[in-house]
Amino acid sequence: MFDLTGKVALVTGASRGLGRAMAIAFAAQGADVAVNYRGNRDAAGETVDAIRAAGRRAEIIQGDTSQGRDGCEAIVTAAIDAFGTVDILVNNAGITRDNLLMRMGAEEWDAVLSTNLSGPFWMTRAIARPMMKARSGRIINMSSAAGRMGNPGQANYAAAKAGLIGLTKTTARELASRGITCNAIAPGLIETDLTADLPEAAAEAITTLTPMGYAGSAEDVAAAAVYFASDEARYVTGQVIGVDGGMVMGS
């Protein structure tokens, strides 16, 4: 089940956190991985080492997904040049710039929207043509429980992650006939560097909303990504799966 042998995955923001865990999980299932990172080459190198230790091929692809069409095309082109194809794209790179609505400035709004929403759009634009030619592909977008239910202090982040769900569903509808699926994962509170700085009271408030009562792990999220990436998920598209301990229960 969920054998990814012979597949190539491109994971954005894969130098740490959920991106790294997904890259390693794909490799464990047999995939080769293009490891995109923006700034920390050493950390990206650690992800690559872990993938190679699992006996799979990994290459580092530097690039900033918030840099619009040209920046994202450069990342996709570099991955295809290195591996010959990309079968699985994970739009994982994301940032937070939290502030209350009344205090949120243009820089905070723009930075989060350009990274968390425009980045996945331009990455999808760039990968769509080669995937359409191949008549197969898997696109996985990292949304968030905040995008499904809102979160005080995260107007920018919640709006971007909700927008990403709209992008996911539209991509799914437009590309289904070409054998390409597009799905989203909406994690709740997961222990990574992104959430390490969360004030204790905020983390407690989130776990109170979580029926499971504790934060998830990166591996919990990676397991959902492996499923969406697999051949077994061929008939599943336009879906949002909450890996959130039951925080959001959609119908």
Q: Using the minimum distance from each CB to ligand NAD, give the nearer residue, 135 or 156.
A: 156
By CB under 6 A, is residue 210 in contact with ligand NAD?
Answer: no
Residue 140 has phi, psi (to 5 degrees) of -125, 120
Contact status: 19 vs ligand NAD (CB under 6 A): yes
As measured in angstroms, the least distance from the Cβ of 179 to ligand NAD is: 26
DSSP lists the bridge partners of residue 187 as: 243
Query: What does the chain come to in residues?
Result: 251
CA distance 233 to 164: 20
Q: Is residue 7 involved in binding ligand NAD (CB under 6 A)? A: no
Whether 157 is catalytic is: yes
Position 187 contacts ligand NAD (CB under 6 A): yes
Per-residue contact track with ligand NAD, 95 to 124, x per CB under 6 A? x-------------------x---x-----
Of the candidates 37, 157, 214, 227, the residue annotated as catalytic is 157
Q: What angle do CA 165, 202, 166 make, to 5 degrees?
A: 5
- Angle CA 38–110–187, to nearest 5: 65
By the rule CB under 6 A, 195 interacts with ligand NAD: yes
Q: Phi, psi (5° rounding) for residue 37? A: -145, 160
The amino acid at 69 = R
Among residue numbers 132 through 171, which ones bind ligand NAD (CB under 6 A)? Answer: 142, 144
Q: Give the residue numbers marked as catalytic.
A: 157
